[in-house]
């Protein structure tokens, strides 16, 4: 039996519906169907997180190679500030602290070789 997997995406009023059909799940010859609604009409911040979840799930469903924690380059989907975003003073202090910690970690790696 030839394995056949199908992923269909539908636009819904409140988001995206992902339908999966697999004719040979786990090589057992068993049919599998699944539907998932990714609600994207929520508040802006939650909708962005749901979009990331949708894209990461789709990457997994398609079995795309995106790298691992030990690879030099890894494909990631994440949130970041827009280029023209104006940081508050508190956000700047937090970014500086994170950057300093990251720099210290890099220095430790350099000296551990």
pTM of the model: 0.74
For residues 3 and 23, is the Cβ–Cβ distance under 8 A?
A: yes
In this structure, the dihedral spanned by the alpha carbons of residues 37, 43, 47 and 48, taken in order and rounded to 10 degrees, is -170
Per-residue pLDDT band at 113 (split at 50, 70, 90): low
Question: Percent helix, strand and coil across the chain, each rounded to 5?
Answer: 35, 25, 40
Tens digit of each residue's pLDDT (9 = 90 or more) over 4-22: 789 999 999 999 999 999 8
**Residue 110 DSSP symbol:** H
3-state secondary structure of 59: helix
Per-residue pLDDT tens for 44-83? 889 899 999 999 999 999 989 999 999 999 999 999 889 9
């Amino acid at each position: 039996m030839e394995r056949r997997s199908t992923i269909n995406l539908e636009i819904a009023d409140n988001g995206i519906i992902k339908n999966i059909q697999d004719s040979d799940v786990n090589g057992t010859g068993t049919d599998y169907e699944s539907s998932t609604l990714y609600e994207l009409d929520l508040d802006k911040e939650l909708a962005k997180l749901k979009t990331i979840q949708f894209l990461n799930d789709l990457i997994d469903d398609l079995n795309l190679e995106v790298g691992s924690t030990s690879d030099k380059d890894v494909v990631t989907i994440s949130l970041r500030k827009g280029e023209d975003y104006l940081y508050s003073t508190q956000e700047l202090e937090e970014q500086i602290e994170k950057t300093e910690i990251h720099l210290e970690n890099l220095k430790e790696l350099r000296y551990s070789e």
